[in-house]
Amino acid sequence: MMNNHRTRLTMNTALARKRHGNRRQAPRLPGAVGTIAIAQLFGTSLWFSANSTAGDLMRIWHATAADIGWLTNAVQIGFILGTLTISSTGAADRYAASRIFVLSSVTGAGFNLAFAWLAGGLISGAALRFCVGVTLAGIYPMGMKLIVSWAPEKTGQALAQLVAMLTLGTALPHAMRFAGAGFPWQLVITASSALALVGAVLVGSLGDGPYTRARAQPDRADDDAHRAPIAASAWSMFRIRAFRAATFGYFGHMWELYAFWTTVPLLVSRTALAATFPRLGVSGVAFCIIGIGALGTWIGGSLSRRAGSAKVALGALAMSGACALTFSLAWRHLPPVALGALLLAWGATVIADSPQFSALAAKACPPGAVGGALAISNSIGFAITVVSIAATTALFGQIGLDATWLLVPGPLLGLIAYAATMRGGRG
């Protein structure tokens, strides 16, 4: 069986090379996967650019923690609408992923600039952040599709590299705020727009991979995928048990992830961490806690080559849930150094499962439905984040750090849903 699988992979590879032999070659340094990952880093810096200036916005616009949460949710809602549109219309699989990525990055950079220099308050600011979210729907899922089209044989590791860049992109505005502490907040956000334009140039120069359509057949362990029609709609992918299980685990992960990232600056400011590390301040500590997720994701990707994506995803989800529970129970009693170590561990594990769940979902789908399936799972996942972000930031304003109790159920339910679905038999 393994020999037949290798033979099919070799034949598909040869056909893809022959079919695309006249296309321009991917740059050798840093390589196709590296190029996409760097472009993802720059493009997704748009996502939390406003959160990095939360202190300035709260002072200038007299905003509360809940208001900052709704600025983040405006991005999430825009992302949901964008992913629903490109998945339900088939655009995610009908048009070249590189073209969608480039157009979205350029447009998103423009809306981000408008937020920095034209927004006069929470209403106009939220409207422009919503528009940024719509454009991110053409950056994040299309980045995943580009990875699959360039490196189908090592999807878990390659997607881990991509999500590591997403994590650094999320943390990057905090680093820019730290580095430019004396600069106006508008310049920090403008820098994110400049990076997004660089990302557009990188992907535009690279193009789509040779395996956009040609992809090796899945193993017999994923035999549900064999029965799925190649041209199936994105929604019909939920009939595939392996896809269902991966997305259910991903949904539990999403309840925790973005609410945690949104509240990290608030967690730091309400503890003694900023005072313990005065050279870093709130922005510097927040960058470390979020940014270490890139290392956790990279380690998870490396482990997936030996242990498999499922074990890595479930292990990381369990560890991040344990960190959430420990923080909620013990934040009053832990000294600052121990509290900082706990938050670093939480930051490292909270994102490490994401690329592995996406890899499992992508492998379960037929080649012609990967883009739409990933987009629709992203859309539902980010709809979940709207609820968790709104609830957590609103509760944070009432009870402070105990609001992290709301994050604990996400990993627990994700683990239960994955296990129950995989035990549920075929279908």
Fill in the DSSP letter of residue 334: S
pTM: 0.76
The C-alpha angle 350, 267, 285, rounded to 5 degrees, equals 75
Angular region, 425: left φ>0, alpha ψ -120 to 50, beta rest: left
Fill in the DSSP letter of residue 1: -
- The whole-number pLDDT of residue 215 equals 42
pLDDT > 90 fraction of the chain, expressed in percent and rounded: 51
Q: Give dist(CA 398, CA 261) in Å, integer.
A: 19
Q: Give dist(CA 407, CA 409) in Å, integer.
A: 6
Residue of 113, 172, 116, 166 lying closest to 136 (CA atoms): 166
Judge contact between 142 and 371, C-beta under 8 A: yes
Residue 368 in any domain: the answer is yes
Residue-wise pLDDT for 250-288, tens only, equals 999 999 999 999 999 989 999 999 889 988 888 899 999
Q: Give dist(CA 6, CA 305) in Å, integer.
A: 17
Choice between 157 and 79, residue whose per-residue pLDDT is larger: 79
pLDDT > 70 fraction of the chain, expressed in percent and rounded: 85
197's tokens: 């334009």
Q: Render 113-176 in DSSP notation, one character per residue.
A: HHHHHH--SHHHHHHHHHHHHHHHTTTHHHHHHHHHHH-GGGHHHHHHHHHHHHHHHHHHHHHH
Query: Which of the residue ranges 65-74, 209-218, 248-257, 412-421 would you say has the lowest mean pLDDT?
Result: 209-218
Residue 44 in any domain: the answer is yes
- The whole-number pLDDT of residue 230 equals 37
DSSP helix/strand/coil, 232: coil
Residue 321: give its domain's CATH number: 1.20.1250.20
Judge contact between 204 and 340, C-beta under 8 A: no
Residue 20 in any domain: the answer is no
- The whole-number pLDDT of residue 93 equals 81
Judge contact between 144 and 374, C-beta under 8 A: yes
Residue 13 in any domain: the answer is no
Choice between 23 and 414, residue whose per-residue pLDDT is larger: 414
Residue-wise pLDDT for 306-343, tens only, equals 999 999 999 999 999 999 999 999 999 999 999 999 99
- Whole-number average pLDDT of the chain: 84
pLDDT band at 56 (very low <50, low <70, confident <90, very high): confident
Residue 100 in any domain: the answer is yes
Residue 232 burial by CB count (10 A; 0-12/13-18/19+): exposed, middle or buried?
A: middle
The type of residue at 120 is G
390's tokens: 């709104």
Judge contact between 138 and 86, C-beta under 8 A: yes
Residue-wise pLDDT for 111-122, tens only, equals 999 999 999 899
Total domains in the chain come to 1
> What's the mean pLDDT in 206-220?
62
> What's the mean pLDDT in 141-166?
81
- The whole-number pLDDT of residue 190 equals 93
Length of the chain measured in residues = 427
Residue 25 in any domain: the answer is no
pLDDT band at 221 (very low <50, low <70, confident <90, very high): very low
- The whole-number pLDDT of residue 425 equals 56
Residue 266 in any domain: the answer is yes
Whether the per-residue pLDDT at 67 is higher than 70: the answer is yes
Residue 302 in any domain: the answer is yes
The C-alpha angle 252, 339, 288, rounded to 5 degrees, equals 75
User: Which residue range is the domain that position 83 belongs to?
Assistant: 33-213+234-422
